[in-house]
A and B are shown apart, each in its own frame.
Chain A
Amino acid sequence: MNRQQILLALSLREADLGIKVATFDDRLILQKAVCLLQYDGVNLAYRFRWHLRGPYSSELASDAFFLAAHRTLLDEELKAWKLDEQSKARINQIKDLFSGLEVRALVKRLELLASILFMVRTGQAKPDDWKPIDDLLKINGKQFTETHIKEALATLSQYGFIH
């Protein structure tokens, strides 16, 4: 396993997520959570592109499938490593975003948060204007309401992702 894969596994463990890839919902949660972790300053070095359901990294998908297929080896390797304290603190600041809801609701929450943040950080939308975000989401066939978007913007602000 390389440094990037070990960092990924340690970060997901710290976020109480683990490497789950069995269902599409599992994989979507993993994708959007890693995207949010990266925007939070946990530098896992995955490259996200825009897909049907928002930011998506094929390199991350490959690594997640690889780690899931090698769980025994991974457990063995992780014994030798621990995550730095600064990254742990960052993960702990936002990890309740990844829990507290049933799976379908969690998928929707993370999809919206990661999508909005991706638009803002790539300069395609502004954090203080929900309408262009709504327009872009509609172009992509999303069914989020004005309330959903405004709540997501408030959450992103509350967690320090946008100002």
Chain B
Amino acid sequence: MALSTDPISKRKIVADSIHGDIELSKTEWGVVDTATFQRLRSLKQLGMGHLVYPNATHTRFAHSLGVFGIMSRILVKLSKNQGKNLKPDEEANLRMAALLHDIGHYPYSHLMERVDAVQLTEEELEVVNGQKEISAARTPYPDHEALGRQILESQSDICAAIGSVNRAREIGALFSRLDVADPQLSKLIHSSLDMDRLDYLLRDAKAAGVPYGQIDLNYLLSNIRLSPKGVLGVEYKALAAAEHFLLARHFMHRVVYYHKTIYGFEEACRQLLRRMRDSGVYDLARNGDEVKTLCSGPELLSFTDNYVDELIREAANEEKKDPIIQTLARCISSRTPPKLLAEVGGLQNKNERFHSGTHFRSLCKTQLPDLAKRLGIRLGQFLLCGPKPIKVEERSALLTSTEAKNLKPEEKEELIKVFVRGEDEPKSMVEINGSLINHLADHPYGIYRLYLADLSKDAPKRLPDISREVQKWTQPN
């Protein structure tokens, strides 16, 4: 049921620290009130961010309501800016999709979902003189949107609150952008300028206590409209606000999401979970099918941050076979972060394309086994990681501006569009000569890092020497 058809007495208002009052219909409130949705209260939005920023304990629950709040405002703005009203059921589905877009989230944000997106340092080094098999046969952990669709269709409380399995499917298709019949609608949830980002930048910045995510939400929303072909864009006068939004995201990555200590803890945890899963000794879903089974039954309610906390505790305390698992677990449980030995890269010229990082990585590969042997440190205690390059705009971080401009519409659907004066259809900012983004597209920000998880009593003494040696690998040829 759309909000407009709900009697006022049946509506609920939630006070949100970012967006103020958020009004929900009876049906929407019914969804929020289910145990399945309430699980989101037990998932921290910023993963292990609270280990550095103590107030960053806000949850997916608050974020989901925030995204819902922004969607409500967007729908009002679209109607006001161009008198275009969506059909009541389209509007209701978009609001519901915004509310439920993170319903399938794993514990600790994206950490568990990307358990295989780790560098394979140790495994690679083990096979210098031969080949090791890597399998595409095992079903990987599904992404959180796929898991969300599964949850909506299999958890009876939320499915009943939504109204029917068919509607649950429609909503899942919207928040996953699977809808073939009207793909433009779901861009409100998935694109560079989407509700998800608009909320998390503001919310994460406030919770962390840093100013970098303070975007001009009101001005952006006031200047948003659909083109005659149904493409979402912002007016040219809001170009600066849109650029600022992308820069805010860039700075939030550098200061919060890729903070050296937070990322070190998260990388340790990713490596830990992968090792635990692959060992087969621990009670951890071994493949994607097992995750889906877990999330289709009553165990879903225990699939929270505490699920991972328990695994870490178990691995830290038990004398199981793998000392690397134990070291990684103890680093996290005792809040002894892996030490950053070296970081290479940063903002790069388009022609360099990350070469300093790949050079460093190659040296790590050839030099680390010897260093580890000399110091009596297990290779698996070294965590080599290359966080995803920060994209000022979707994908352009990996392309030169010429390449980015030559992308076809198919490949630019998720870019922020701006209505250039005199043109009916909006252009991406990468194509606008006067835009900062046009120039920054030539300067990707990419880094490689090498950490050491070391809890031995010798660690404080030997760390400076190890660090000095590793620093030599960061120098260009």
Interface 1/0 per residue, A42-72 and B, CB below 8 Å: 1111010111110010100110011001100
Q: Are B120 and A3 in contact (CB-based, < 8 A)?
A: yes
User: Do residues B353 and A69 form an inter-chain contact, with CB atoms below 8 A?
Assistant: yes
Asked whether A80 is an interface residue with its Cβ less than 8 Å from the other chain, the reply is yes
Complex Cα spacing A106 to B359, Å: 38
| Interface contact A77-B137, CB-CB below 8 Å | no
Contact partners of A87 in chain B: CB under 8 A = 135-137
A34–B76 Cα gap in the complex (Å)?
39
A6 / chain B contacts, CB cutoff of 8 Å: 120, 134
Instruction: Show 14 residue pairs from A and B whose CB-CB distance is below 8 angstroms, ordered by the A residue.
Output: A2-B120, A3-B116, A4-B116, A6-B120, A24-B410, A45-B116, A47-B145, A47-B176, A49-B178, A73-B361, A81-B133, A83-B136, A119-B180, A124-B181
Residues of chain B lying within 8 A (CB to CB) of residue A3: 116-118, 120, 134
A18 vs chain B, min Cβ distance (A): 17
User: Which residue of B116, B179, B410 is within 8 Å of A52 (Cβ)?
Assistant: B410
Top 3 closest pairs, chain A to chain B, by CB: A49-B177, A87-B136, A84-B135
CB closest residue in chain A, given B176: A49
Q: Is A97 an interface residue (CB 8 A)?
A: no
Contact B410 A56 (CB under 8 A): yes
The answer to the question of A95 belonging to the interface, with a C-beta cut-off of 8 Å to chain B, is: no
* Given A24-B407, A79-B131, A119-B180; 11 other pairs, CB 8 A cutoff: A2-B117, A3-B118, A10-B136, A51-B410, A52-B409, A61-B411, A73-B358, A80-B130, A81-B127, A84-B137, A118-B178
Q: Are B410 and A53 in contact (CB under 8 A)?
A: yes
A31 and B414 alpha carbons, distance in the complex (Å): 16
Within 8 A of A (CB), among B151-209: 169, 173, 176-183, 190
A105 proximal to B (CB < 8 A): no
Partner of B132, one of A1, A53, A62, A80: A80
Q: Give the contact stretch, choosing among B84-92, B316-324, B391-399, B469-477.
A: B391-399
A58-B394, A80-B124 given; A50·B131 CB < 8 A:
no
Q: How far is the CA of A43 from the CA of B350 in the complex (A)?
A: 32
Summed over the interface, the residue pairs from A and B with CB atoms below 8 Å come to a total of: 139
The minimal Cβ–Cβ distance linking B414 to chain A, given in whole angstroms, is 6
Chain B contacts for A10, CB-based, 8 A = 134, 136
**Cross-chain contact A2 with B409 (CB below 8 angstroms):** no
The CA-CA distance from A81 to B127 in the complex, in Å, is 8
* Interface residue? A100 (CB, 8 A): no
Q: Is A27 an interface residue (CB 8 A)?
A: yes
CB interface residues, B 114-153, toward A, < 8 Å? 116-120, 124, 127-128, 130-141, 143, 145-146
> B residues bordering A, Cβ < 8 Å?
116-120, 124, 127-128, 130-141, 143, 145-146, 169, 173, 176-183, 190, 288, 353-354, 358, 361-362, 386, 388-389, 394-395, 398-399, 407-411, 413-414
CB distance A69 to B177 under 8 Å? Answer: no
Q: A43-B138, A84-B137 are contacts. A122–B116 as well, Cβ < 8 Å? A: no
As a 0/1 sequence over residues 16 to 55 of chain A, the CB contacts with chain B under 8 angstroms (1 = contact) are 0000000010011000000000000111110101111100
Contact indicator A47/B120 (Cβ below 8 Å): no
Bound-complex Cα distance A80 to B32 (A): 49
Within 8 Å CB of B135, what residues of A?
Answer: 83-84, 86-87
Task: Assess the B131–A43 pair: CB atoms within 8 A.
Answer: no
Residues of B within 8 A of A27 (CB): 411
CB B455 to nearest CB in A, in angstroms, measures 26
Chain B residues within an 8 Å CB radius of A49: 176-178, 190
- Is chain B's interface secondary structure helix, strand, loop, or mixed overall? loop
**B169/A77 in contact, CB under 8 A:** no
User: Which residue of the partner chain A has the closest CB to B135?
Assistant: A84
Q: Are A51 and B395 in contact (CB under 8 A)?
A: no
Closest to B142 in A: A45
Is the pair B398, A66 in contact by a Cβ cutoff of 8 Å? yes
Known: A50-B178, A52-B409, A65-B395. A80 touches B117 (CB 8 A): no
Q: How far is the CA of A90 from the CA of B140 in the complex (A)?
A: 17
**Known interface pairs A65-B399, A73-B358, A80-B131. Does A50 touch B177 (Cβ–Cβ under 8 Å)?**
yes
* A41 CB contact (under 8 Å) in B118, B119, B128, B137: B137
B351 to chain A, nearest CB (A): 11
Contact B169–A123 (Cβ < 8 Å): yes
Closest to A84 in B: B135
Highest count of chain B CB atoms <10 Å: which of A2, A53, A84: A2
Say yes or no for A82: interface residue by CB 8 A criterion: yes
CA gap between A163 and B427 in the complex, in Å: 43
Residue in B closest to A22 when the chains form the complex, CB atoms: B403
Cα distance A122–B232 in the bound complex, in angstroms: 25
Contact check, A51 vs B183: say whether CB atoms are below 8 A apart. yes
Question: A79 contacts which chain B residues (CB < 8 A)?
Answer: 131
**CB < 8 Å neighbour of B173 from A44, A124, A139:** A124
Q: Which residues of B contact A62 (CB under 8 A)?
A: 388, 395, 398
B132 touches A43 (CB 8 A): no
Chain A residues near B407 (CB, 8 Å)? 24
In the assembly, what is the distance between CA of A61 and CA of B411, in Å?
A: 9
Q: Does A162 contact B (CB under 8 A)?
A: no
Q: Does A136 have its Cβ within 8 Å of any Cβ on chain B? A: yes
Given A2-B117, A80-B128, A122-B178, the answer on whether A47 and B134 have CB atoms closer than 8 Å is no
* Complex interface residues of chain A between 85 and 123 (CB less than 8 A to chain B): 86-87, 115, 118-119, 122-123
Cβ contact within 8 Å between A83 and B134 = yes
